Structure 1
């Protein structure tokens, strides 16, 4: 009969939550995160321990990597063999580890991204510095636990004398968290530890003076130290790392850029491909060749430049467009008592110091116990030698060794262990030389006991010993810093202007949004079925201002636009600025010193006009608000004015208002503006014109009817009036009203994509209230855009 079993109901949500929590804790503790004490994850710790147990120390021959992997898998780490081998390979790569922990023999991969040979082909043994991580492991310095099947024991942590967490760094992705601790210079970290041992209240800023930043095995240059300071003080931050390069002279005045160091964990082959692709896309000009000349002497990527090329500009663009300069995230997360915690620099160092105190204390206690045990035996032997006749008599008259042992304990007042040692004592110990040696050994043991007890009873002596051991490690394995920390470009730009030469630049923008920079207006050209709609002259240090109908202005440094040859039509604007889907460009201006002193005047669909001094647009951000708009309003025109010009607003219903700019008072950038024209219901402003006396006013409808009238027909009025009609027929709605000189041109764009160029002089000229005449023969099309072309 089956007994009733108690069933406890549980929701699937609770079951899933608990199961996932157990899984995540297993990943965090057992696989992904390093221990703050030895800086190792379980797999790395097991590899080092298993390699040592195999006797593969630096003065012994290498053994097949497969032998080591098998040892690790069979005894300590029941996971995939490839995962263990990959971890071991990384420990043997001098471009991955700042200080290699495994001494590999054979193909262990390359900085080009080549994989290591299979484990059956490669060989390995412990690197010398790994002995410092394993030192004193047999002296009860750390705890051991059962392995996965309970047949062996493995260490929970290694008694490392090396601050390995900082020295070799660590990276890993757990469940819901990740760690990324960069490698550091051993000498600097040990100097920081000794400082902290001497003064536990030392400020982090003082530690940063000793440990100025990460030190990567592949060298490179860290740009600035703000990110380093943030990471060291909070545990999180970012640093900018760039490759190291030099400029060499070639023949005939040409130069070459030679990259000799690349950022940490960057694939060299990938970098060369990135550079080549950037050159093909014309983001970097004046490059004739890119090749890899790396050999046994070291890394060498060569970029040959054309004669007119400026190496500083080329380097600046390499930093911007390729991985030669990249951001490295720092997240100093490690396990403390099996709990993940983000730590600042001082906390990590202090945990290592606390660990070393524990290790040295346990080792000292272990050594003290062993020394006292040995002293205890030797004192028994000495007592036996001093009472030799009694000992001989007891042994001679005892029936068995057991009886002899008891008699010795009773007669000489020695312990069972001492009595056993007396019985096992060789007769040669009775010679005078051996007796003197015994006396000396006892004296040495006493001194050693006194020394060990002093360490245990005196904190200062314990700290001194820890410091001495750290200094020995530094003397044996310390080296010079590989990664240089240089001044941030943003700080240096006061002198170098981002390494960009200030020179004349002609910027053109086409109807199809092709953007081009040249050094001469003669080189401006458009592609097939395209027209140049704007040509702006400035300098490479100026900025372009792209105003959109939503009231935003997007800024672009001119030097970021590649220089193009005369036959090129340029790059699409989207390669430089990512406009939101709801924004379209209204006007483009150049912000230079002259414009900074003038005004930028904006008109809106609802008839508002505002002007703001140009220097308010001088900013380091890439986008900002140019005008504060109502929800139903939008920008329709932007012009540069000097405060004394005449403005003409035109509306869809054919009204115009012509007034002096002085009527608009300057306001700040993020303001609404003043009323320029008083609109009728359902009317809206369609253009803002800055005029002169020689211009005509062109009025055009979407069906191609229009006219040109002299500007003198438009009386100067005060702003905020209803304005004057520019045509006699109220049946027409205008597509655009443009003021232009008779020697200028306009383009007419239809809804079928047809683009038609037309001379202003060919447009029918009438008085302001004259008739509207057909200016273009449209069949089943209508006009959707009218643009005045720049003077050629």
Structure 2
């Protein structure tokens, strides 16, 4: 059996000789690089010179070649796509149509390059209609990109099948890369260039022509920043400056919106660039339904051809500022990541603002130079023809005789060139030395051109052509003249197409924080002995006359009792002091907001409390003036008191920090903010009080125990400490556990030395019960009293009678059997100025009070 196989393998023979050995990693690397560069240069990245990707360039050139200009009628998009795909862009028709449609969208392009007719999509994300339904033609400004393309201004290359020629780049009479921007994803890199205002970019370009050594900062005086087709606002300028200086940056873009005159609606009129309006409204609605955004009753899209109008209807009583901040955090602000990446000499480069304009000017100078050379050649050719015509007119009789007596047209041309001689009756006619082009033109002349008027027109045209030649030579020999041409043409385009800026700048006040999303309002915070905590709006509790039962403030679980109540703003930081001497820090709005009948949330979910640790005092940091020295003055059950600078409490951990050292059988009772310039008053459970100078208690560290402030007898213990500021405080207000209390003029508490027994403040008999709280108060203050069972009474302090010390007082809050006052807080709601008449009335009331004060020291 015969076989064609060789007897042995020979690597140097046949096909084997063409096989080359290569390392696979090197081959993969090189092949991948070739593929990546093909995508980068052929599909994804724009050219810095005309700002176009190949698909856009080919669409515009195909339209130009087909005569689909602004002066023609619209043509079916399918026809344009077909010609582009068949002659220049051998890719899918959907990709070509998508690019064509985007160039027609006024919400995508700052200056659309295609004038579309039909449905080309919407800002709601609706896709364009099928290409068989839409029509298009070039927009006027697109013609400026193709201007003079027939004057050898740019290089051409063969199309994909070598049938036609296509431009490598368009002449681009304006810096389209910056004006319309670009976006694209290549292999391993991407570009995202925002659009700009045409007038600003041209002003910067002319400035660069006149001042080649200018800086990026100089150009920024002309180019304020991106100018998006959808308007909106750029937040701050720092990111824009960074993007222009480095080629990269992250620009925050915020929607344009306002609250209407009635304060019932938020109206959105402009959206961030590339934001889908329908999707935006859907996301807002989802967040409203899920409770992430509060205060919105309805959403309406009232947009029309005149512009965007999305109405956010607010609920009655909703705070518009809070709703605006909630919308800003999640929906009305986006980030545009600038990556100014473009092809420079076929290679991808990240460019600064100056580099982008410099590369464009290099291209434009080359275009104008090549155009001038082309026009110069045309003008010189025309001048040569005109010179021949003028010479022929000067010798018209001999020229006509020569042509008439020639055997043929070719003989006549040869005679005019002086190559042969024509004889008439044996006599030779004069010879000429016309060039071939001149001779051809003369032979083709019509008799009508021999009139004297035609001769004058030829003379005039010749002078104009000579002037043109002189001007073109001047442009080609002097770079400043060439730049002047570029500058003049840019100014003409600016005059024709520039418009007002759409995107504005607003001050960068920082990103929206969670606090911005919370309405700032006064709230009542309730804490129970089992450490349940919640907040309620202060408006839930209207002021009542003293002696009432109040209204329910919380629902307690069995065996639990209220331990404290206080009033604060939702934006205040609160310091929570516990019976173990620890202090924790928490924003008021972090406390869950609940109804009056709700139980609250366990504080261990908010504060990392130890077993048996209870909140005994709360200090509002809003009372701390940063411009003055402030102290936290603490009092313990066993009568100790100490002052510690608030600076020691700047960095409070989530697990809390030590506020004061306590003896084993002692607990922290109360904390007050003081300034070191006024007196302190301590109050005990058995109705004793002592007033002394704050300086009697030296400032100490957090780990100190303090000094004794008051001698206590028997089972007595301290219940409160208050600062005496006679500019703010007029009375000492004392409340007992059985709901009784009194107001006493502050002057009735004379100053003593600390560590004394003090004076009797109020009688603590069976009717009153032991003292629950003591506060210093003034005009306009409201008293909040909360019982252990959860009832809250709010009453003006002026409703409580002014009496002397060592008296019984009056009923403040009616208690149910077995119920007791748990906590008291004072809230200032009136004016800082004291009404003179009210003050006089109060002084008379105090003077009439029975003075039964004892001096038990």
Query: What TM-score results when the alignment is normalised by the length of structure 2?
Result: 0.66
- Alignment correspondent of 2:165: 153
1:374 pairs with 2:418: no
- Alignment correspondent of 2:67: 55
Shift of 1:171: 1.0
1:262 pairs with 2:271: yes
Shift of 1:40: 0.8
Answer whether contact 2:77 2:134 (CA < 8 A) is retained: yes
Which among 318, 334, 348 is matched to residue 309 of structure 1? 318
What pairs up with 1:581-660 in 2 under 5 angstroms?
Answer: 592-594=621-623, 597=630, 637-638=656-657, 641=659, 645-647=660-662
- Alignment correspondent of 1:292: 301
CA-based RMSD of the aligned residues comes to: 4.4
Shift of 1:560: 8.5
- Alignment correspondent of 2:754: none
Q: What SS does structure 2 have at the residue aligned with 1:175?
A: coil
Answer whether contact 1:383 1:412 (CA < 8 A) is retained: no
CA distance in 1, matches of 2:182, 2:557: 52
1:426 pairs with 2:434: no
What pairs up with 1:290-369 in 2 under 5 angstroms?
Answer: 290-320=299-329, 322-369=330-377
CA distance in 2, matches of 1:16, 1:41: 27
Inter-CA distance 262–7: structure 2 relative to 1 (3 Å threshold): same
Inter-CA distance 299–6: structure 2 relative to 1 (3 Å threshold): closer
Shift of 1:106: 0.7
Inter-CA distance 491–18: structure 2 relative to 1 (3 Å threshold): closer
Answer whether contact 1:184 1:215 (CA < 8 A) is retained: yes
Shift of 1:261: 0.9
Answer whether contact 1:93 1:100 (CA < 8 A) is retained: yes
Deviations 1:101-150 (A, max 9, x none): 11111111111111111111111111111111111111111111111111
Q: What SS does structure 2 have at the residue aligned with 1:125?
A: strand
Inter-CA distance 665–203: structure 2 relative to 1 (3 Å threshold): farther
Q: What SS does structure 2 have at the residue aligned with 1:10?
A: coil
CA distance in 1, matches of 2:180, 2:41: 19
Q: What SS does structure 1 have at the residue aligned with 2:234?
A: strand
Answer whether contact 2:196 2:225 (CA < 8 A) is retained: yes
Inter-CA distance 11–433: structure 2 relative to 1 (3 Å threshold): same
1:31 pairs with 2:60: no
Q: What SS does structure 1 have at the residue aligned with 2:173?
A: coil
CA distance in 1, matches of 2:23, 2:105: 49
Inter-CA distance 34–414: structure 2 relative to 1 (3 Å threshold): same
Q: What SS does structure 2 have at the residue aligned with 1:282?
A: coil
CA distance in 1, matches of 2:557, 2:449: 106
Inter-CA distance 544–373: structure 2 relative to 1 (3 Å threshold): farther
Answer whether contact 2:522 2:567 (CA < 8 A) is retained: yes
Q: What SS does structure 2 have at the residue aligned with 1:382?
A: helix
- Alignment correspondent of 2:569: 539
Gaps of 5+ in 2: 1-5, 7-12, 419-430, 542-551, 578-582, 635-642, 672-696, 706-715, 720-769, 773-787, 789-821, 825-857
Inter-CA distance 638–60: structure 2 relative to 1 (3 Å threshold): same
What pairs up with 1:394-543 in 2 under 5 angstroms?
Answer: 394-410=402-418, 411-490=431-510, 502-505=520-523, 518-519=537-538, 538-543=568-573
Answer whether contact 2:145 2:174 (CA < 8 A) is retained: yes
CA distance in 1, matches of 2:396, 2:601: 104
Shift of 1:10: 2.2
1:75 pairs with 2:55: no
Q: What SS does structure 2 have at the residue aligned with 1:263?
A: coil
Give the aligned length.
Answer: 634
Inter-CA distance 259–151: structure 2 relative to 1 (3 Å threshold): same
Inter-CA distance 637–432: structure 2 relative to 1 (3 Å threshold): closer
Deviations 1:609-632 (A, max 9, x none): xx99755887xxxxxx867xxxxx
Deviations 1:528-556 (A, max 9, x none): 9x999998864233357999xxxxx9998
Answer whether contact 1:64 1:122 (CA < 8 A) is retained: yes
- Alignment correspondent of 2:234: 222
Deviations 1:388-443 (A, max 9, x none): 23323432443333333222212322222222212222222211111111111111
Inter-CA distance 400–531: structure 2 relative to 1 (3 Å threshold): farther
Inter-CA distance 244–525: structure 2 relative to 1 (3 Å threshold): farther
Which among 102, 106, 118 is matched to residue 94 of structure 1? 106
CA distance in 2, matches of 1:508, 1:557: 14
What pairs up with 1:683-722 in 2 under 5 angstroms?
Answer: none
CA distance in 1, matches of 2:347, 2:512: 43
Q: What SS does structure 2 have at the residue aligned with 1:91?
A: helix
Answer whether contact 2:536 2:596 (CA < 8 A) is retained: no
Q: What SS does structure 1 have at the residue aligned with 2:334?
A: strand
- Alignment correspondent of 2:186: 174
Answer whether contact 1:518 1:524 (CA < 8 A) is retained: no
Q: What SS does structure 2 have at the residue aligned with 1:213?
A: coil
CA distance in 1, matches of 2:555, 2:205: 65
Q: After alignment, is 123-132 or 194-203 more displaced?
A: 194-203
CA distance in 1, matches of 2:602, 2:483: 65
Shift of 1:387: 2.1
Shift of 1:693: 5.0
Answer whether contact 1:507 1:537 (CA < 8 A) is retained: yes
CA distance in 2, matches of 1:187, 1:95: 19
Query: What TM-score results when the alignment is normalised by the length of structure 1?
Result: 0.71
Deviations 1:363-400 (A, max 9, x none): 11111110101111111122222222332343244333
CA distance in 1, matches of 2:293, 2:323: 7
